[in-house]
């Protein structure tokens, strides 16, 4: 089986969608199936014969993203042989969706789409001058229309599937999380990371990894730290990632008197640098209300790091109290108390981390790839 994938985003642009696509392509390849990806070009993108890069321009207000030029995207698809593919898998709802649906229909191929992002929860951060209720309604209408244009919709969580059903989507939907490549999450030297960054070995250390964007609710974590310092005045919060919310978060930390207790690390290369960072932490903390899955939660668990997080939308599927995590209420003071439970009882934290390792294995990419192949097969594909 050979799948054509189309996305408006991919590495070196770092986010959950890029990671999900990379993980799926790798796991399909390991199962004996190939894919070709059409995605934007970026400065510094590594050449890959199975990735067709499309020229574009930086997105206003978010220059990390590149929007493909419609004509260049159309020419890239025209150079492909439809007979080489069994299905089209679309990963984003912008130009990739429109071009992917059109190309699939023209050549008689089934089209599936993974609904990675709950845009209803995002739009108001980027268009704050427009009424939030109007933006939410617009997001729902666009999502419903686009989902009903494909043959199957893949939701990364049950909460996302239920949300799409609320929108009125009638296309068949399946819940298939991205999964975690367990072989990639081994080792990690937390002590070495602390030494490199001048962090004492006994200093209570909290960690957030991910995009530094407004919808990630990182300000909640800074507020929780402000409460935590009443019992753990030396606690330090590390924020590993890049994004448009960085200036606002720096201002918030300074305003709450936490300038020296919140450290922004920027982007860390996946692999050893990021694993060392994970393993340096006493707890991984997370408060996003808009995640469709929350892969970083599973990454932390796979490395044995206990998690304290809110359970909203997709993270509610991942987070099970006591299975590598403590679930925090949507209140900074209450969240701080849950973090303190781990800092005050290191044996409890260690046991929670060990249970998290075992739990993360249930989310392996091999299992999720098999479910994806079954979905493709259900569309009537016959090529071996």
Residue 381 predicted with pLDDT over 90: no
Question: Stretch 270-286: mean pLDDT, rounded?
Answer: 96
The angle at the Cα of 234, spanning 231 to 237, to the nearest 5 degrees, equals 100
8 Å CB contact between 241 and 154: no
Say how far apart CA 383 and CA 377 lie, in whole Å: 9
pLDDT at 232 over 50: yes
Is residue 383 predicted with pLDDT exceeding 50? no
* Least confident stretch, 53-62, 95-104, 165-174: 53-62
The architecture of the domain spanning 2-179+364-378 is 3-Layer(aba) Sandwich (3.40)
What is the mean pLDDT of the segment spanning 241-250? Answer: 95
Q: Give the C-alpha separation, 363 to 318, whole Å.
A: 9
CA distances to 265, 354, 360 from 188, rounded to whole Å, are 17, 15, 16
**CATH 3.40.50.2000 residue ranges in the chain?**
2-179+364-378, 183-362
User: What are the distances in angstroms from CA 137 to CA 113, 120, 132, 144, 299?
Assistant: 21, 8, 9, 11, 34
- pLDDT band of residue 126 (cuts 50, 70, 90) is low
280: confidence class by pLDDT, cuts 50, 70, 90: very high
pLDDT of residue 123: 62
Give the up-direction half-sphere exposure of residue 221: CA atoms within 13 A in the CB hemisphere: 32
Q: What's the average model confidence in pLDDT over 365-380? A: 91
Which two tokens mark 284? 């991984």
Q: CB atoms < 10 A from the CB of 367, how many?
A: 15
Query: Domain 183-362 maps to which CATH number in 3.30.420.40, 3.30.1330.200, 3.40.50.300, 3.40.50.2000?
Result: 3.40.50.2000
- C-beta separation of 277 from 191 below 8 A: no
pLDDT band at 120 (very low <50, low <70, confident <90, very high): confident
Residue 229, sorted as left (phi over 0), alpha (psi -120 to 50) or beta, turns out to be alpha
Average pLDDT over residues 375-380: 87
* pLDDT for position 125: 57
pLDDT tens, residue by residue, 323-341 = 999 999 999 999 999 999 9
Q: What is the CB-side half-sphere exposure of residue 103 using CA atoms within 13 A?
A: 28
Mean pLDDT in residue range 152-180: 94
Which is more confident, 125 or 241? 241
Res. 382: pLDDT tops 80: no
pLDDT at 257 over 80: yes
């Amino acid at each position: 089986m050979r799948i054509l994938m189309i996305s408006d985003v991919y590495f070196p642009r770092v986010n959950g969608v890029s990671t999900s696509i990379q993980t799926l392509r790798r796991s399909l390849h390991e199962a004996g199936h190939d894919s070709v990806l059409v995605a934007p070009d970026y400065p510094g993108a590594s050449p890959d014969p199975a990735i067709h890069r499309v020229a574009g321009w930086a997105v206003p207000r978010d220059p990390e993203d590149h929007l493909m030029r419609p004509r260049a995207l159309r020419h890239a698809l025209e150079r492909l042989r439809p007979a080489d593919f069994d299905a089209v898998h679309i990963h984003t709802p912008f130009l990739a969706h429109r071009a992917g649906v059109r190309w699939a229909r023209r050549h008689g191929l089934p089209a599936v789409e993974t609904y990675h992002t709950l845009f209803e929860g995002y739009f108001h951060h980027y268009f704050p001058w427009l009424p939030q209720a109007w933006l939410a309604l617009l997001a729902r209408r666009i999502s419903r229309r686009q989902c009903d244009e494909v043959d199957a919709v893949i939701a990364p969580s049950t909460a996302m599937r239920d949300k799409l059903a609320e929108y009125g989507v009638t296309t068949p939907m399946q819940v298939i999380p991205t999964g975690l490549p367990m072989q990639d999450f081994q080792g990690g030297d937390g002590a070495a990371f602390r030494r490199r960054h001048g962090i004492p070995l006994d200093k209570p250390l909290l960690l957030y990894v991910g995009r530094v964007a407004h919808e990630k609710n990182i300000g909640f974590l800074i507020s929780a730290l402000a409460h935590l310092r009443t019992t753990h005045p030396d606690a330090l919060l590390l924020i590993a990632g890049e994004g448009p919310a960085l200036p606002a978060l720096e201002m918030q930390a300074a305003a709450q008197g936490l300038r020296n207790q919140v450290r922004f690390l920027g982007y860390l290369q996946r692999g050893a640098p990021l694993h060392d960072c994970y393993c340096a932490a006493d707890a991984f903390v997370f408060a996003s209300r808009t995640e469709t899955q929350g892969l970083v939660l599973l990454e932390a668990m796979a490395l044995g790091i206990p998690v304290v997080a809110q359970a909203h939308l997709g993270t509610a599927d991942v987070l099970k109290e006591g299975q590598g995590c403590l679930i925090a209420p949507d209140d900074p003071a209450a969240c701080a108390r849950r973090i303190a439970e781990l800092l005050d009882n290191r044996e409890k934290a260690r046991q929670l981390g060990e249970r998290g390792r075992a739990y993360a294995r249930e989310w392996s990419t091999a299992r999720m790839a098999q479910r994806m192949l079954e979905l493709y097969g259900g569309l009537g594909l016959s090529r071996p």
